[in-house]
Structure 1
Amino acid sequence: MIEILETGPFNTVQDLGRPGYRDIGVSASGAMDPLAVRIGNSLVGNDENAAVIEVQTFPFSLRFERRAVFAVTGADGHPHLDGSELIPWCAYMAEPGQVLELKQPPRLARAYISVGGGLDIPVVMGSRSTSLRGGFGGNAGRPLAKGDRIAVGEDAEIAMLSATGLAVVEPAVALRDVFPAPVDDTLPIRALPAGEHDLFAGAGEAFWGQTWRISSRSDRTGYRLSGEPITPTASIEMRSHGVVPGVIQVPPGGEPIVQMSDANTAGGYPKVAGVIECDLWRLGQARIGARLKFIRSTHAEARAVEQAVARYVEDVRLTSGMVKRALKAMA
């Protein structure tokens, strides 16, 4: 078991989501930074879809009630175990009674805590993710609260970890050749033109050409963007249609909304663009007030990025497995 000692609003249990139920109005939910979840679970020897804790309000702390392997991935802060500073993107061993503390990260938005064996949370519609809007899944369908105790699954690989931990190069560094760096504190996000793109003046130039800011009215459902409003060249009447994370809709006020992990299942606003799937984790780590610029991409580029990320994830999985097998053989 682990016990939550300190937390804030909207910290939840998440995995990679529950696809397949949008036709009955159920959002997929899942982690805002799925890449951090996949890497964290690989580090501790879990299936990549094991349930983790998503922390987006800090400080956060928990106590381990039994020996456990854990990793903190995602945000760029340094976790502390019983007051000793650790490095992120690294698997460590915790002893019974030790306290893990996460402080406010300097730049990024969300941290993920993976525990060997995964969080032993009931599966609802194929997922352990919390649906805050639906009030189900995860920890009784609600955010974590002080005093919550969460069961942890059995960890068959708990003995296969060096005392100094097992670390990986974080995605932003390992994949810097495929993920463009911020320019003047503005995060470039690649997107493809969407269904109603051509209804906006100048082929949507006002959308692609300006810098947007993430509004304080943003959450896991969608990021509302502040900037110079954009509007279609003519008034249009649309029926509601299916939407998914990454779709960028433009309501009548002209300030776009990017659908995120708890995306609506349907909507009737015109769609100007869609964020490529492999850039969604970067968007999930952008904080309120962050500046964004959308870069027009291609299907070929999106596929190339997807392949690079897949190679990185597989390399982490294989390397982690090799190291643990070597340590087991030496034991």
Structure 2
Amino acid sequence: MMEILSVTGPASIQDLGRFDQYRFGVGTSGAMDEVALRAGNILLGNDENAAAIEIPMMPFKLRFGRDMAFALTGAGVEAEIAGRPIPPWWRSHARAGDVLTIKAMSRGARLYLAVGGGIDVPMILGSRSTQFRGEFGGWHGRPLQAGDTLPCASSTAAIDELGIEPADITLARPDAAADQTIVRVVIAGEYDAFDAATQALFWSGRWKITPQSNRYGYRLQGPDMKPKAPVEKRSHGIVPGVIQIPPNGQPIIQMRDAQTSGGYPKIATVIRADLWRVGQARLGSELRFEQTAYTDALAAEAEMSTYLDRLRTNVRLVEELRACR
């Protein structure tokens, strides 16, 4: 088990999410950075859907109740356990009573703390993810608090150290400016409701992520995006990644805790392979949208899959070599 000693902001338990409940109006939830969550579980030899802690703000501190392996992936952070530094994208070990302290976040927006075997909270509607809107899943359906004691499943993960290549380096976009995230999107259903000049603003604009952004949606600030005529639509199905334009003309990117339906016009949708980039974009930083064809979106997803396949292979080879010693 692990005891939360101190927490800042809405840290929560997340896995890859629940994807078969849309017909009941239940959204996906799940990790904002799926790549980082998968990578942490790969490092530990877990099922890649094992639940971990998503930590969006620092500082954060917990105590391990028994010996176990753990991994930190996602954002770059300054962290230490029992006085020794722990780099990000790294598997390490904890002894019973060790305190893990995560002090600061140097880059990115979310850190994932995975443990050998995963966090053993109940499976609800096919997932262990916290669903804040419905107040279920995770740890009592709420953000973690100091004093919470989290159960952990048993594991055969090696209690040693191993590092891997961060996704933001391996899958980096070479044309991105400092403090700017390039996000590939495909056009959506109401794209033609905007005139050519407004469409051009969408592509050329630098969109600031406002403080009103969270797991439900990222509210952006930039050029005024008004349709040629008011668009009144009945609520219809939406998914994470959909970019809607509300009446104020400022886009909203639906994120992992988004509702399952909405009526605002949709101008574009973030491709699945880039949702993790949005999840790691900081408040106050800028997004820039890049139009992408469907075939290129599939190629980007294949690139992400190749990265994860390489991690699986490399970790397996290291473990086999160590077993032969």
Task: Give the TM-score category using the shorter length.
Answer: over 0.9
1:326 to partner: Cα distance: 2.6
The percent of aligned pairs where both chains have the same amino acid is 44
In 2: Cα distance, 1:84 partner to 1:312 partner: 29
Q: Partner residue of 1:43? A: 43
Contact 2:2–2:150 (8 Å) recurs in 1: yes
* Structure 1 counterpart of 2:190, from 186, 189, 196: 196
- Give the stretch that moved more between structures: 234-243 or 27-36: 234-243
| Aligned counterparts of 1:111 and 1:236: Cα–Cα separation in 2 | 39
Q: Deviations over 1:281-301 (max 9, x none)?
A: 010011111111111111121
Deviations along 1:30-56, whole A, 9 cap, x unmatched? 011110000000001101100000001
Question: Among residues 220, 234, 250, which one is paired with 1:225 in the alignment?
Answer: 220
User: CA shift at 1:101, angstroms?
Assistant: 1.1
Aligned: 1:277 with 2:258: no
User: Given the alignment of the two structures, is residue 171 of structure 1 paired with residue 167 of structure 2, yes or no?
Assistant: yes
What amino acid is the match of 2:167? P
Cα distance in 2 for partners of 1:110, 1:104 equals: 11
TM-aligned CA distance change 1:21 to 1:5, over 3 Å? same
Deviation at 1:180, TM superposition (A): 3.9
Aligned amino acid, residue 52 of structure 1? A
1:221: Cα distance to partner? 0.5
**Partners of 2:259 and 2:280 in 1: how far apart?**
20
Partner of 2:180: 186
Q: Indicate if the aligned counterparts of 1:208 and 1:294 stay in contact, CA closer than 8 A.
A: yes
Matched-pair contact (CA < 8 Å) for 1:180–1:188: no
Instruction: Calculate the aligned-residue CA RMSD, in Å.
Output: 1.2
Distance 1:324 1:299 in 2: 38
SS at match of 1:101: strand
Counterparts of 2:223 and 2:88 in 1: how far apart (Å)?
38
Aligned length: 324
Distance in 1 (CA, whole Å) between partners of 2:180 and 2:167 is 19
Q: Please tell me whether the aligned partners of residues 76 and 108 of structure 1 are also in contact (alpha carbons under 8 angstroms).
A: yes
Q: 2:263 aligns with which of 240, 261, 268?
A: 268
Question: Could you tell me how far apart the structure 2 residues matched to 1:28 and 1:43 are?
Answer: 25
Preserved CA contact (<8 Å) 1:161 1:324: no
Q: 2:109 — aligned with what? A: 109
For 2:246, the equivalent position in structure 1 comes to: 251
Match of 1:3 in 2: 3
**Letter of the aligned partner of 1:197 in structure 2?**
Y
Partner of 1:14: 14
- Deviation at 1:184? 4.2
Provide the C-alpha distance between the structure 1 equivalents of 2:186 and 2:284, rounded to a whole number of angstroms. 23
Q: For 1:213 and 1:182, locate their aligned partners in 2 and report how far apart those are by CA, in whole Å.
A: 15
| Structure 1 residue identity aligned to 2:141 | G
Question: 2: CA distance between counterparts of 1:291 and 1:175?
Answer: 19
Shift of 1:121: 0.6
What is the CA-CA distance between 1:139 and the residue it aligns to? 0.3
Structure 2 unmatched runs, 5+:
none
CA distance in 2, matches of 1:145, 1:246: 29
Kindly provide the amino acid, as one letter, of the partner of residue 193 in structure 2: L
Deviates more, 1:11-20 or 1:300-309: 300-309
User: 1-side partners of 2:106 and 2:162: how far apart?
Assistant: 24
Segment of structure 1 superposing worse, 181-190 or 217-226:
181-190
CA–CA separation in structure 2 for the residues paired with 1:151 and 1:325:
29
Alignment partners' CA distance in 2, 1:17 and 1:184: 31
Cα separation, partners in 2 of 1:253 and 1:310, compared to 1, 3 Å: same
Normalised to the residue count of structure 2, the TM-score between the two structures is 0.97
Contact kept, 8 Å, 1:72 with 1:79, in 2: the verdict is: no
1:26 alignment partner in structure 2: 26
In structure 1, the residue corresponding to 2:213 is in which secondary structure? Answer: coil
What amino acid is the match of 2:264?
Y
Give the whole-Å Cα distance in 1 for the aligned partners of 2:115 and 2:180. 33
- Runs in 1 of length 4+ with deviation above 4 angstroms? none
State the Cα deviation string for residues 257-312 of structure 1 (Å, max 9, x = none).
Answer: 00001111000000000001111101001111111111111112111111111111
- Rounded to whole Å, the distance in 2 between the matches of 1:38 and 1:8 is 24
Q: Take 2:96 and 2:321, find their aligned partners in 1: how far apart are those partners?
A: 26
Instruction: Give CA deviations for 1:23-78 in whole Å, capped at 9, x if unaligned.
Output: 11111100111100000000011011000000012100111110000000001113
On the 8 A contact 1:217/1:224 being kept in 2, the answer is yes
> Contact between 2:68 and 2:159, CA under 8 Å: does it hold in 1?
no
